Amino acid sequence: MAKIIELYDNGHGVNTAGKCSPDQSLREYKKARELVKDIVAKRKAQGVDARILVPEETDISLAERCRRVNAICDKYGKDNVILISVHCNAAGADGKWKSAGGWCVYTSPGQTKADTLATDIWNAANVSLKPYIDRFPLLKAQGAYDKRQVPIRADWSDGDPDYEARFYILMHTKCAAVLTESLFQDNKADVDFLLSKEGHAAVVDLHVKGVETYVKRLSK
């Protein structure tokens, strides 16, 4: 089997309006780039062809991001390329702290290879985010999260844990593509975890281990 090329997309850019915590301590473009930089470094250290899709600090249009992905798909074959778009979630856009929290992963509608990739990353999240999962009930009891919240979100309506959405980057790329939402940038407890060394390492680890599992699966 041909070698898999892993593309990691860091969401948004320094010039994207909003997309930050209410206290400005976390900016999504910056955290996404920090996460992707470390994910790619770890995968490269494992001998993998892992690449940063958007090395720029500025926001690159979704059309251009998709063009870059599809150019690589055309060169190496779409079955030999995967895309992971890394983001932070948000419950609102009014600059106020919210009570929603948790981690989740998205694919495009329907059953594709991306569903298997998403499931492998979701399974890894349940292991790598154990410190976050273990603290969640206490923080919830203290009011950090409302009663509906869970640490690892899932939509089992179609038999797998990923959410489905028609996000542009998932709909207009030729390869298996997923989008991860690594906690909420407008939840104080989630932001505190994301900005900690422990939290950053956990989010990096879940991506590394989830993708590693998927790529090994392809080689069997």
Per-residue pLDDT averaged across 188-202, rounded?
98
Phi, psi for residue 34 in degrees, rounded to 5: -65, -45
Structure-derived torsion over alpha carbons of residues 161, 156, 130, 4, reported in degrees to the nearest 10: -10
Shortest CA distance to 153 belongs to which of 165, 162, 142?
162
CB 204 within 8 A of CB 210: no
For the domain 5-218, what is the CATH code? 3.40.630.40
| Average per-residue pLDDT for the chain | 97
Tokens of 89: 């979630």
**Mean pLDDT to the nearest integer, 66-72:** 98
pLDDT at 202 over 70: yes
Q: Is 109 exposed, middle or buried (CB count within 10 Å of its CB: 0-12, 13-18, 19+)?
A: exposed
Predicted confidence at residue 64, as pLDDT, reads: 98
pLDDT at 1: 62
Closest CA to 69 of 8, 111, 140, 18: 8
pLDDT in tens, 142-193: 999 999 999 999 999 999 999 999 999 999 999 999 999 999 999 999 999 9
Which pair of tokens denotes residue 139? Answer: 């923080």
Task: Say what the pLDDT of residue 220 is.
Answer: 77
pTM recorded for the entire structure: 0.97
| pLDDT tens-place string over residues 90-140 | 999 899 999 999 999 999 999 999 999 999 999 999 999 999 999 999 999
